[in-house]
Chains A and B, each alone.
Chain A
Amino acid sequence: MSMPISGVTSTVGQPGPDPGAGPAAGQARAGTQGLARIGRAVRRNRKAAVGAVLLGIFILVAIFPGVIAKDSPSLDNYKPRLGVSTAHLLGTTAYGQDMWAQLVWGTRNVLIIALVVGLAATAIAVLIGVAAAYLGGAADGSLSVLTDVLLVIPLFPLLIVIAGYAHGGGTLVLILVITLTGWSYTARQLRAQALSLRRRDFLEAARVRGERQIYIIVMEVIPTMTSLIVASFLTNALYAVLFASSLQFIGLGDPNTQSWGTMLYWAQNNAALQTGQPLWAIAPGACIATLGAAFALLNYAFDEIGNPALRPVRRTRVKRAG
C-alpha cells in the first residue's frame, strides 16, 4: 500500500506521534497487507461504506436478475403503458414490456461494460504511464504526445464518429471504443506519480542491488502505486458507465440489448416524458446516476485512505480543555 509514512521524519506542517518508534514487540500485524488493509479502511470510512454497499447491490442484481425480476425483459405481451402496480413494479413500456424486468436485467450489461472497460483502460494506462515515466527521453516524449493528443480530442464527438462507423456492433464495440479513447486521462496521472517515485531511494537501492529495469518497474514501482491504480480503475469504470449509456441513448449501441442506456433510447423515441410515462426515462436515469455515484464515492474514499490529510475532520472524542 502506498500509505504515506507519517510522523517519523521531520516533515513540514503537522507533527505527529511517532508510529515507527519502538518496535512494540508483539504488535507485528503478521501479513495484514494490501487487500485486507483496504478492506478494513473501507469499512471505517463512511463514503467508502456507502459506495461499497451500493456497488454490492448492483453486482448482486447483475448476477441474479432472475431472482429479483420474475418476468423476462423482452416479453412484450403485456398491456402497454400500464402504471405502477404490484404486478408491474414500474409499469409497462409502450411496447408492453415489464419495465422493472428491463431495469433489472439491464444491470448486467452496464456492469460488464464498466468492469471490463475499467480493467482494460487501467491496464493500458498503467503500462503506458509507468513506462513513459521510466524510459524517459524519446520514448517518454512519444508516449506522452500520444496520451496528450487523445486527451485533447473532444471525446464524445470522437466516440460518436467511431461508433457510427462500427454500425451499432453491440456491447463489444462499445467496450473497445470507450477503452481506446478513455485510457489517456488516467495514464497521465499514473505517469505523474511514477515520475515522482522515480527518485525514491528504495528504487535506487534496488538498482544498486543489481535488479533489472523491468523488474524494478513491475515489482518495486507498481506495488507502491496500488492506491492510485485502484483509483484509476474506479475513474475509468465511472467514465465507462456514463459514456456507454450516453452512446446507447443516442442509438449507437445495439438497441436490442438490454441495458439502461437502451431503455433511455426507447423511452426517448416514444417521447416517454411527454406522454405520461416518466418512469421509463427516470428509472434507468436514476440507476445510471446511482451506479456512477457508487464509483465516485469509492474513488473519494480511496483518496482519503491513501492520503490521511484529506480525511474529514470529525468531532473528537477527547475531552477538550477550556
Chain B
Amino acid sequence: MSSVRADADSHPAGSATTVGPMLTVNDLSVAYEMDRGAVAAVDRVSFELYPGEFLGIVGESGCGKSTLLFAIAQLLNPPAVVTGGNVVFKGVNMVGLTDKQLMAVRWRDLSVVMQSAMNALNPVKSIGAQLKDAMRAHGVTSADEIAKRSAEVLRMVSIDPVHLKSYPHQLSGGMRQRSMIAMALLFTPDLVIMDEPTSALDVVAQRSLMVQIKKLQAELGFAIIFVTHDMSLVSHFSERLMVMYAGQVAEWGATRQVFDNPRHPYSAGLLEAFPSIRGKRVPLTGIPGSPPDLSQPQQGCWFAPRCPKVMPVCTEVNPDLYSVQDVQVRCLLYGGPAGGTAPADAAAPAEEMSTGD
C-alpha cells in the first residue's frame, strides 16, 4: 500500500481502450433543501472518467461544480442530498454506502484536495503530525513506515522533508497547498479530486503547482478531476473539459476542441472574458447580467436571459445535450425543436461575441 504504483498509464481522452471507465457519473442530481423549497444545485450530470485522465470542470459561482465534487466524494451534508442518479467508482455505487464502507475507499482509492489549505490543515499540528494522523486513520501503524512514507510524499511535491516539523503558518501559501497534495497522495489513489487548489496562490506559484501536479500525474498515473473558475488555467493541463452553468453541463468534450471552437454561447463568452497579455488590445464585454438564482426555476434555457444568440424557442424549451462532432452542447442552436440552426462544425467565430451585449 505504500509502494508507488508504476504501472498505470494515461489513457488519452475518448480513445477506445480495453480498460473501462474508472468513474461513471450517471444522471447525478443534487438538491439543497432550503427554507423556501428544494433548490437543484446539480441537474442530471453524466460523464465518464478513465484511468489517468485529467478532467477539468469549469464554471462560475453557483454553477454547481463544487457541489458536484462533494457529491462524487460523498462528502455532502444536509441540507444537500442526492436526488437522482448514481456515482459508480471502480464498479461500486458510491451513493448509499455507509460511512464505514466509504472509509475503505477514501484516501486509498480516492482522495480530495480542498480549496483553501489554510482552512483544511490543522493550524496547531505540524505537517508531519497530520500526515501521521492520516496514515494511522487508514491502518498504517508502523512508525518506520509512517516516517518513510511522509518523507517520500513531501519529496514528491518538492518540499524538503525537514518541513515535517513545520506548522502550516510557517509555510508559504504554495507550500501549504503542495503539502495538501502530498497528503492526498499518501496511498497513491487512483483518483484525486481537487477543488480550486490554486485559487489562494499568486500567478507564479500557481503555474509552478500546476506543472508539479501534471508531472506527478505522469509519474504515478492517477486520474484528476480539477474544478476551477479559471478556464485558462486548465487549458494546458486537462484532456477533457466540462463547462457547467446553473447546475447543468453546458458543454463537454476534448479540451482543445472546446477552446478552439466553443459552441455554447456561455463557453464562448467565458473564453472571451479573459483579457490577453499578448496580441492586440481589444475592448471586451464579458457576459452581461449575473448567474441565475436557482431557487427560481424558469421555463426554457437557464442561459437565455444573458445569451447573445437567444432565440424565441429558448425561453420555452429546456435544451438537452446534443452531440456536435466530438463535443456535447446543451444549446438549442445544435438540436432540439429548432432542429439545430447552426451548422455542426462552424460555431460563431470568437470575435463576434465581443460586439454583442
Contact = CB atoms under 8 A, between A and B. Distances in A.
Direct A–B contact in complex, judged by CB atoms less than 8 Å apart: yes
Contact of B116 (A12, A18, A21): A12
A319 interface: yes
Interface string B287-322: 000111111100000000000000000000000000
Contact of A316 (B33, B41, B95): B33
B83 A320 contact: yes
Contacts of B294: 17-18
Contacts of B349: none
A270 B152 CA distance: 77
Could you tell me the dominant secondary structure of chain A's interface residues?
Answer: loop
Top 7 A-B pairs, shortest CB-CB distance: A18-B62, A22-B293, A15-B66, A12-B119, A21-B291, A17-B39, A313-B78
Contact of A14 (B77, B86, B295): B77
A14 B80 contact: yes
A322 interface: yes
Interface of B: 29, 31-35, 38-39, 41, 61-62, 66-67, 70, 76-86, 95-96, 114-116, 119-120, 196, 199, 290-296
Contacts of A322: 95-96
Contacts of B292: 21-22
Contacts, number: 80
Given A8-B61, A322-B96, A16 B83 contact: no
9 contacts: A10-B61, A10-B115, A15-B66, A18-B293, A18-B294, A19-B293, A21-B293, A318-B31, A321-B84
A10 B85 contact: no
A295 B67 CA distance: 38
Contacts of A316: 33, 78-79, 81
Nearest to A308: B79
Contacts of A10: 61, 66, 115-116, 196, 199
A159 to B, nearest CB: 38
A17 B290 contact: no
A30 interface: no
A23 interface: yes
A21 B82 contact: no
B206 to A, nearest CB: 15
A17 B199 contact: no
A89 to B, nearest CB: 43
Contacts of B114: 12
Contact of A23 (B31, B79, B84, B290): B290
